[in-house]
Amino acid sequence: MNAGKKKSFALGLSLLLTLAAPPAASAQRHGGGARAAAPARVSAPQIRSAAPSRGFDLREDTAPPLRQSTPLRQAAAPPQSTPQRFAPVTVSRQGTAPHAPAAGHRPALATNLGYGGGPGGHRIIGDPRYHGGNWGWNHGVTWNPAPRYWGGGFWGPWALGLVAASAFGAIYYDDGTLDSYQVEPDSPGAELLENYQLTQVPCGPPDLVVILGPDNGVICADPNDLVAAGEYQLDPADLTIVALDS
């Protein structure tokens, strides 16, 4: 009787240990197994499980504590486009760009497919693909630029300061230079190019389509039947582009 109890208890205990083992192994795999298998990147990683009741160990990355009264929520709100970001620019070869639309301003006479009359007689080219109103191209969700990223992230997840290696020409203005970078596939910018059937090329040469996007992100493309050479301001709400030199 006693022997039988001991045997069954041992069996239960061994089963318990067996079943309890996978989560630990899984944690090991998730936490560092993959990295440990790549010694070229990190030599001899020290894998540790988090100590309980300590939160996250990010001591090296934490700046001095912010004051509790600091309105973090307000500071963290996604930035709205400011007029400065879309300020009219002066192009050396074209003179002053007349009456570029301010941030968030949608030309009232924008038309889809083809050319229409915008404020001040600017040519407006509506997105040839989407006709569903604002943000229809983005599942109806408002797109806001993200600081720290070139062009607010419209053309790809390129962090400012890390994109120099992928420079794709530049546009030279009287008051400065705007560098351009390659548009990432699957980005909103790539969708814009696809919708207008444009092919991106490095900025610099004359007679290109120059599109000024959010946060001074600029890209260039070869002209085609839909978009003639010239400078355009992008309205990210409906991917309309407005000619600045007409």
**CB nearer another protein, residue 215 or residue 231:** 215
What residues contact residue 102 under an 8 Å CB cut-off, 6+ apart? 83, 86
Secondary structure element (H or E) that encloses residue 173, with its range: strand 167-173
Contact 76, 66 (CB under 8 A): no
**CB nearer another protein, residue 81 or residue 112:** 81
**CB nearer another protein, residue 11 or residue 87:** 11
- Minimum CB distance to another protein, residue 173 (Å): 25
- Minimum CB distance to another protein, residue 2 (Å): 10
Amino acid at 212: L
- Minimum CB distance to another protein, residue 59 (Å): 9
**CB nearer another protein, residue 56 or residue 108:** 56
Contact 155, 181 (CB under 8 A): yes
- Minimum CB distance to another protein, residue 119 (Å): 27
- Ramachandran region of residue 98, left (φ > 0), alpha (ψ -120 to 50) or beta? beta
Sort 40 into a burial class: Cβ within 10 Å, 0-12 / 13-18 / 19+. Answer: exposed
User: How far is 219 from 179, CA to CA, in rounded Å?
Assistant: 9
Encoding tokens for residue 72? Answer: 């973090």
**CB nearer another protein, residue 65 or residue 206:** 65
- Minimum CB distance to another protein, residue 37 (Å): 13
Nearest-Å Rg of the Cα atoms of the chain is 27
- Minimum CB distance to another protein, residue 205 (Å): 29
**CB nearer another protein, residue 29 or residue 113:** 29
